[in-house]
Each structure stands twice: as C-alpha cells, then as structure tokens.
Amino acid sequence: MTLIYGIHTQVGVYLAADLRLTLTDASGQKTSKDDFCKYMSIGKNMHLVAAGNANFASYLIRKIHSSELVNLPYIEFRDKIEKFLNHEAGFYPRIQENGKVARPVAFIFAGADLTKKMPLQVIVWVN
C-alpha cells in the first residue's frame, strides 16, 4: 500500500509519499524495497507524487515527459493533464503477462504559474 498526499496551505503546497516499492515475481513471491522515490519534478515549477501500479505509473510519467505538456505554464498544464492521462491510459495493456489486471494509478500534481502570478495549485488524477 502506498501513502501519498498533498496539502495546500497559505504558505505553499506540500507533497509527500512513502518510499516502499513492493515487487511480485512470476511465482507470486513478494519483495520490498524501501528506497523508491515516488516524488518527481516535471517541467518548470511542477511536481507530482504517484501511487499504485509502478509499471503503469512509469509508463504515464514517460508519456508526460515526452509530451509538450512539460513546456506549458502550470495553468495550461492543469487544464490539459486529465484529458492527456485518460487518453494515454487507454493504450496501456490492462492484462499483463501473468494474466492479472493492472492495478490503478493515482497522481497528485502541484505547481505554480509564475507568468500569471497564480498561486500553487493541486490536481488529483486516479484512473
């Protein structure tokens, strides 16, 4: 289980996530790593935390990084990210090699649009 949260206060936005990654091999045996970073920066003045299926989250993050979204001011990013993620999520195979359905992913995005003097804002996306 992953814990992520975003708190919007008068002085800013705080994003946090735990560091545990649980891996399941083909035989069903689970192992854990306690040093996996679920927080990252994207574009200018934008950050995210991720929870859920790590492979699916990585796929979507790679798609974000290779898109024009990372070059947009945050206010435009905010207006386009949900449609972008819903579209890209449709291309991810729901059935994986082991026959199991991919678990969902959740993101919390935070950022500021300095060009329009917009305060920090938070977006939550869950597939």
Q: Which tens digits make up the pLDDT trace of 99-111?
A: 666 678 888 888 8
Q: Which residue reads 């649009």 in tokens?
A: 113
The pLDDT value recorded for residue 69 is: 93
Mean pLDDT across 61-87: 90
pTM reported for the whole predicted model: 0.77
The pLDDT value recorded for residue 27 is: 82
The pLDDT value recorded for residue 98 is: 61
CA distance 55 to 83: 20
Domain carrying residue 16? 4-126
The pLDDT value recorded for residue 126 is: 72
CA distance 76 to 44: 12
SS (H, E, C) the chain: CCCEEEEEECCEEEEEECCCEEEECCCCCEEEECCCCCEEECCCCEEEEEEECHHHHHHHHHHHHCCHHHHCCHHHHHHHHHHHHHHHHCCCCCECCCCCECCCEEEEEEEEECCCCEEEEEEEEEC
Mean pLDDT across 51-77: 88
CATH number of the structural domain spanning residue 122? 3.60.20.10
CA distance 73 to 116: 9
Confidence of residue 64 (pLDDT cuts 50, 70, 90): very high
Mean pLDDT across 23-51: 81
Q: How many domains does the structure of the chain reveal?
A: 1
Mean pLDDT across 62-85: 90
The pLDDT value recorded for residue 14 is: 76
Average pLDDT over the chain, rounded to an integer: 79
Least confident of 3-12, 33-42, 56-65, 117-126: 117-126
